[in-house]
């Protein structure tokens, strides 16, 4: 009863792989955006802020559909990537990762930005007087101090990705082994009479995964916070 | 006074009847492939009978599941016999109300922007034709269109070659959309779907012998509202038949 | 050494100041809000003046006319902040060496080793600790050390003692005196405490409402009566340079020789021959027109009345000149009238030895 079928393990492994890569790929983008929004003033800033937050409030299916229009086989960006780099998102786990990355981006940006806003700018000035260029100040002072925020954001984004459904199924369909993550697998099982046992098993698995992710984040954040505050952790 | 009373009574009765008829709403769960044709037929029925018809399209398997869960439908039109039989065994059908309406054919389609000709026959070169793309079809595990397609591909001896090159969709219309958008180079849908979608062209027809006969059974569900029986009768009638034939459905074999 | 000229505006505050500072300690003195920290920020490159010129020796840091504006990290100006600003995620050792990482080759700055700085500031036992576990005084010492190790050409200290309690203040004051004496880097020291200024500074620049009111050597500045308004609760007094001539172990008194004669003071912690700086509060000085006899005051300085100040209340400051040194005495207006004190009148300035306490004697 507790052993997973090959199909179920495939869904589990795929979920973890998609979640991992979606967070890894969106991290630099999120940090850059958070920095822009926190530290810089420029025309169109509130528009950028709104666009970054759109995936939070739009129906996931809408996001998925726009991804399809832009990155699908015949979309402007999708066709370009396919022709010049051979990168294709259609029916592929890369598409599932892209969908998760887009849906999780606002969570990541928000967490990092909050951390950035809270950084003592006086410390950054002090580092500058000691000879650190702006890039070095960021790397040696700012980054370590916002690490708790980054970790929090990453966990939120990871968890969001584990639960991502609407955008994924609209963008890259429900292909077992390629795009059928846990939520999509559960959905597929609920469509078939007699799939209840499998659906339930996968639901429990999803809950356990989320719990594990939350507990890991608790530990990581606590450690990062202690370090940033200067306590001998 | 005596002359007015019968007339008034008649008018009242007529009004009552119209009112009652006006308040009739029937809910129909129908296989996705029926969309265009059934929309038209139902509109015709509404004009003539005064009843309102609410249509819900999805894969027959998904619909059966919803009915099993207690969805308030009055009529169920399936794309294969299995799902109708399933509901009958579970006791959801009004006994004796089931009848078979018409048939369909399975075709291989390609996007209209990238047409090709490929006749499905034993061992046909479907894999080279796919290239790096996938074959779109309704989910072969439970959707009728997918099941027919799988049966046909098995019969023609190419199923194992394409088994892991599929793009399974929730229903046949979703598969059709994939091909129409150019997401996949090939797809397997009903002939009626190909006819309804200008974005795809027919690359070839599957031999009727390669799969179980495609039939659309219709039945009244237990606890159906009054007004349902006339609708089912209408669907079997000549007017409806003309509409469906015009959309490409084959007369009941 | 430091040439400063700037016009700067932030909100409703305007700074329009120019001054130059030589080697040694230059104090920026004034009330809160006078613009002292602003000047430091402009020198360090943390703020930009609308126009002006800031140069350290031959190096121009900012020149609006020539379009020069060196970014902060290239100015080689060390800055010790009021709140120390140690990097919390690094150890004390890493904090100290932080600036060292960015200064590749010594370019005119004074190159000190970690060992030297650690010894100078007494922070050896703190090296492995984290800033959060240090006391305020310890943090300031590390902050000073960190600024030094970045090889600055100029050192800025922004009220480094402000957030410390009295014992800590004395402790850090001692270290800053050592710093001044042993490290040849010009220092700009911001403070609103006249005691610190008098003990540490060679030159004083007085700021008020964003403008330089006056500047000059510390001895001169301290005694100027009309400056009393800027000193707030501090009462004016004299600052005298003296040498320890004698130390009498039995009585515990030292005899300090200065231009106007000798001063006896108790508990002077210096050896014979050492130079000291003595501050004598005006309120501790009495005046007599005849040399008193049978009086407990040991210090009787003979001199001439140089200036009688304006006063609004019952008291008035009288400046007494004694062979070039100035002493300030605060007496009642009544006494000035009774004794007919006027410029030119010979007087005796009387100072209680006990009044010249430990806090009044600084080490040059």
Neighbours of A109 (CB within 10 A): 27
Maximum distance among all alpha carbons in chain C? 70
What is the predicted pLDDT for the residue at B38?
95
Contacts of B93 (CB under 8 A, 6+ apart): B76, B84, B87, B219, B220, B221, B222
Smallest Cβ–Cβ distance between B68 and the set A73, A174, A193 belongs to A193
Number of other residues whose CB lies within 10 A of the CB of residue C285: 25
Confidence band (pLDDT; 50, 70, 90) for C280?
A: confident
- Whose structure tokens read 């231009």? C259
Query: What's the whole-model pTM score?
Result: 0.75
Hey, how many other C-beta atoms are within 10 angstroms of the C-beta on A180? 26
User: Which residues of C are less than 8 Å from A133 in CB distance?
Assistant: 71, 73, 102
For residue A129, give the nearest of C78, C101, C132 by CB distance. Answer: C78
Tokens of residue A164, six digits: 């991502």
Q: Give which of A129, A122, A228, A141 is closest to C99, Cα–Cα.
A: A129
Q: Is A188 on the interface with B (CB under 8 A)?
A: yes
Cα B89–B90–B91 angle (5° rounding)?
Answer: 90
Nearest CA in chain C to A121: C85
Residue of A nearest to C148 (CA): A130
pLDDT of residue A197: 83
Record the tokens describing residue C135, joined without a space: 């006391």
Nearest to C60 by CA among C41, C84, C76, C80: C76
| pLDDT at C108 exceeding the cut of 60 | no
Interval B5-39: pLDDT, tens: 777 667 666 666 655 555 578 999 999 999 999 99
**d(C-alpha C305, C-alpha C251), whole Å:** 32
Q: Is the pLDDT of residue C145 over 80?
A: yes
Counted across chains A and C, CB pairs separated by less than 8 A come out at 82
Q: Does A136 touch chain C (CB under 8 A)?
A: yes
Q: Which residues of A touch B170 (CB under 8 A)?
A: 174, 191
The shortest CB-CB distance from A232 to any of C81, C83, C130 is to C130
Burial status of residue C295 (CB atoms within 10 A of its CB: 0-12, 13-18, 19 or more): exposed
Cα separation values, C191 from C6, C31, C81, C198, Å: 20, 9, 12, 11
Please give the structure tokens belonging to residue A142. Answer: 């700012």
Chain B residues in contact with A190 (beta carbon < 8 A): 65
pLDDT band at C228 (very low <50, low <70, confident <90, very high): low
C-alpha–C-alpha distance, residues A159 and A211, integer Å? 9
Chosen for mutation from A125, A130, A230 (greatest number of chain C CBs closer than 10 Å) is A130
Give the span between the Cα atoms of A129 and A139, in whole angstroms.
16
**What ipTM does the predicted assembly reach?**
0.80
Q: Hey, are the CB atoms on C133 and A230 less than 8 Å from each other?
A: yes
A130, C126, C137, C146 from C118: Cα distances, Å: 18, 9, 15, 10
Q: What average pLDDT does the structure give for chain B?
A: 89
SS3 C238: strand
Return residues 7-26 of B near A (CB < 8 Å): none
Contact A129 C73 (CB under 8 A): yes
Work out the pLDDT band at C197, boundaries 50, 70, 90: confident
How does B183-221 read in b/e, with b if 16+ C-beta sit within 10 Å? bbbbbbbbbbbbbbbeebbebbebbeebbeebbbbbbbb
Check contact B-C (3+ Cβ pairs < 8 Å): no
Task: Give A231's contacts in chain C (Cβ within 8 Å).
Answer: 130, 132-133
Q: Which two tokens stand for residue B54?
A: 């609410």
Distance CA B211, CA C4 (A): 94
Would you state the structure tokens that stand for residue C291, as one six-digit string?
Answer: 């040399």
The Cα-based distances of B181 to A75, A116, B137 in angstroms read 10, 43, 14
Averaged pLDDT, B147-174: 93
Q: Evaluate if residue C231 carries a pLDDT over 70.
A: no
| pLDDT tens profile C308-351 | 887 767 888 888 998 888 888 888 989 999 999 999 999 999 99
What is the H or E stretch that residue C60 is in?
strand C59-63
State CA C260 to chain mean position distance.
Answer: 23
Burial of C265 from C-beta contacts in 10 A (0-12 / 13-18 / 19+): buried
According to DSSP, the residues that pair with A27 across neighbouring strands are none
User: Distance from A21 to chain B by nearest Cα, in Å?
Assistant: 23
Q: Choose the weakest-confidence range: B41-50, C56-65, C277-286.
A: C277-286
User: Which residues 47-66 of A have a C-beta within 8 angstroms of B?
Assistant: none
**Dist CA B238 CA A199 (whole Å):** 45
Residue from C94, C202, C198, C214 nearest C146 by CA: C94
Please give the pLDDT value at position C221.
Answer: 74
User: If we measure between CA atoms, which residue out of A185, A151, A150, A153 comes closest to residue A12?
Assistant: A185
Check CB contact under 8 Å for C150 and A130.
yes
SS3 A213: helix
**In chain B, pLDDT over 70 holds for what percent of residues?**
92
B17 exposure class (CB count in 10 Å sphere: 0-12, 13-18, 19+): exposed
Q: Quick one: tokens of C177?
A: 């005196």
pLDDT in tens, C237-266: 788 888 999 888 888 899 999 988 899 999
Whether A132 sits inside 8 A of C45 (CB atoms) is no
The helix (H) or strand (E) run that includes residue C320 is strand C315-322
Q: How far is A73 from chain B (nearest CA, A)?
A: 6
**Cα distance between residue A99 and residue A164, in whole Å:** 8
Residue to mutate among B139, B170, B183, with most A CBs inside 10 A, is B183
DSSP B221: B
Which chains sit next to C, with 3 or more Cβ pairs under 8 A? A
* Whole-number Å distance between alpha carbons of C81 and A123: 10
d(CA C9, CA C12): 7
Name chain B's partners: 3 or more CB pairs within 8 A.
Answer: A
Among residues 162-181 of chain A, which lie with CB inside 8 Å of chain B? 173-177
Q: Mean pLDDT, to the nearest integer, of B52-71?
A: 90
Decide: C and A in contact? Rule: 3+ Cβ pairs under 8 Å.
yes
Count of other CB atoms within 10 angstroms of residue C317: 24
Residue B152 has pLDDT above 70, yes or no: yes
CA angle at residue C274 from C269 to C277, to 5 degrees? 75
DSSP one-letter string for C126-182: GTTS-GGGS-HHHHHHHHHHHHHHT--SEEEEESTTTTS-HHHHHHHHHHHHHHHHH
* B152 vs B137: CA distance, rounded Å: 12
User: Tokens 């887009």 correspond to what residue?
Assistant: A102
SS3 content of chain A, % helix, strand, coil (to 5): 80, 0, 20
CA distance C100 to C95: 10
Q: Which chains touch A (3 or more CB pairs under 8 A)?
A: B, C
Best of A115, A121, A126 to mutate (most C CBs within 10 Å, chain C):
A126
Which residues in chain A come in under a pLDDT of 70? 1-2, 193, 230-233
Helix (H) or strand (E) holding B195: helix B191-196
Mean pLDDT of chain C: 86
């Amino acid at each position: 009863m507790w052993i997973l079928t090959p199909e179920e393990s495939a869904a589990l492994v795929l979920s973890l792989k998609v979640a991992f890569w979606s967070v890894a790929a969106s991290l630099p983008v999120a940090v850059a955006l958070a920095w822009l929004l926190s530290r810089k003033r420029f025309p169109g800033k509130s528009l950028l802020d709104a666009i970054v937050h759109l995936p939070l409030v739009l129906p996931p299916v809408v996001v998925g559909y726009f991804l399809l229009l832009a990155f699908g086989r015949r979309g402007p960006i999708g066709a370009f990537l396919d022709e010049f780099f051979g990168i294709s998102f259609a029916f592929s786990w890369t598409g599932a990762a892209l969908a998760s990355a887009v849906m999780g981006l606002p969570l990541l940006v928000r967490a990092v930005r909050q951390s950035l806003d809270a950084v003592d700018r006086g410390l950054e000035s002090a580092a500058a007087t000691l000879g650190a260029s702006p890039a070095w100040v960021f790397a040696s002072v700012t980054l370590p101090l916002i690490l708790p925020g980054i970790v929090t954001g990453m966990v939120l984004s990871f968890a969001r990705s584990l639960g991502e459904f609407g955008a994924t199924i609209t963008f890259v369909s429900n292909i077992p082994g390629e795009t059928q993550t846990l939520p999509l697998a559960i959905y597929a099982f609920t469509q078939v009479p007699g799939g209840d046992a499998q659906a339930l098993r996968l639901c429990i698995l999803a809950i356990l995964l989320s719990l594990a992710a939350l507990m890991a984040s608790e530990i990581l954040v606590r450690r990062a916070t202690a370090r940033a505050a200067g306590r001998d952790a | 006074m005596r002359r007015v009373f019968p007339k008034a009574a008649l008018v009242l009765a007529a009004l009552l009847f119209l009112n009652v008829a006006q308040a009739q709403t029937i809910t129909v769960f129908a296989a996705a492939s029926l969309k265009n044709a059934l929309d038209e037929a139902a509109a015709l029925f509404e004009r003539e009978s005064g009843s309102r018809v609410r249509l819900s399209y999805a894969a027959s398997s998904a619909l059966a599941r919803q009915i099993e869960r207690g969805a308030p439908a009055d009529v169920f039109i399936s794309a294969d016999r299995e799902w109708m039989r399933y509901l009958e065994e579970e006791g959801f059908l009004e006994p004796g109300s089931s009848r078979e309406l018409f048939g369909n054919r399975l075709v291989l389609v390609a996007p209209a922007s990238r047409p090709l000709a490929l006749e499905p026959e034993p061992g046909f070169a479907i894999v080279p034709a796919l290239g790096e793309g996938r074959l779109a079809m309704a989910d072969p595990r439970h959707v009728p269109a997918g099941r027919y397609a799988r049966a046909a591909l098995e019969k023609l001896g190419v199923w194992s070659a394409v088994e892991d090159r599929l793009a399974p969709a929730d229903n046949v219309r979703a598969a059709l959309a994939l091909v129409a958008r150019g997401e996949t180079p090939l797809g397997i849908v009903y002939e009626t779907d190909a006819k309804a979608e200008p974005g795809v062209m027919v690359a070839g027809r599957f031999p009727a012998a390669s799969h179980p006969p495609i039939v659309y059974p219709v039945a009244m569900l237990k606890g159906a509202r009054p007004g349902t029986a006339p609708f089912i009768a209408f669907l079997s009638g000549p007017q409806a038949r003309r509409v469906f034939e015009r959309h490409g459905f084959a007369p009941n074999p | 050494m430091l040439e400063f000229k700037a016009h700067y505006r932030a909100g409703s505050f305007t700074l329009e100041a120019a001054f130059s500072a030589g080697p040694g300690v230059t104090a920026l003195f004034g009330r809160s809000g006078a613009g002292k920290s602003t000047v430091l920020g402009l020198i360090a490159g943390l703020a930009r003046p609308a126009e002006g010129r800031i140069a350290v020796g031959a190096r121009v840091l900012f020149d609006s006319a020539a379009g020069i504006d060196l970014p902060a990290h290239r100015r080689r100006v060390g800055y010790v902040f009021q709140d120390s600003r140690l990097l919390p995620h690094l150890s004390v050792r890493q904090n100290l060496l932080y600036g060292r990482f960015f200064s590749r080759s010594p370019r005119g700055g004074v190159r000190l080793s970690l060992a030297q700085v650690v010894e100078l500031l007494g922070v050896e036992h703190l090296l492995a600790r984290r800033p959060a576990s240090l006391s305020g005084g310890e943090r300031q010492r590390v902050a000073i050390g960190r600024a030094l190790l970045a090889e600055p050409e100029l050192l800025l200290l922004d009220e480094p003692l402000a957030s410390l309690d009295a014992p800590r203040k004395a402790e850090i004051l001692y270290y800053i005196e050592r710093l001044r004496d042993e490290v040849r880097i010009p220092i700009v020291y911001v403070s609103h405490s006249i005691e610190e200024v008098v003990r540490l500074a060679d030159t004083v620049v007085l700021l008020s409402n964003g403008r330089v009111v006056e500047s000059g050597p510390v001895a001169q500045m301290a005694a100027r009566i009309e400056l009393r308004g800027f000193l707030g609760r501090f009462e004016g007094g004299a600052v005298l340079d003296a040498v320890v001539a004698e130390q009498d172990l039995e009585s515990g008194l030292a005899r300090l020789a200065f231009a106007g004669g000798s001063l006896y003071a108790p508990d002077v912690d210096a050896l014979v021959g050492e130079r000291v700086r003595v501050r004598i509060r005006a309120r501790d000085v009495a005046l007599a027109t005849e040399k008193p006899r049978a009086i407990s005051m040991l210090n009787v300085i003979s001199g001439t009345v140089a200036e009688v100040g304006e006063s609004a209340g019952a008291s008035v400051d009288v400046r007494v000149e004694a062979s070039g040194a100035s002493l300030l005495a605060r007496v009642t207006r009544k006494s000035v009238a009774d004794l007919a004190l006027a410029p030119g009148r010979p007087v005796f300035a009387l100072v209680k030895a006990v009044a010249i306490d430990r806090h009044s004697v600084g080490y040059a």
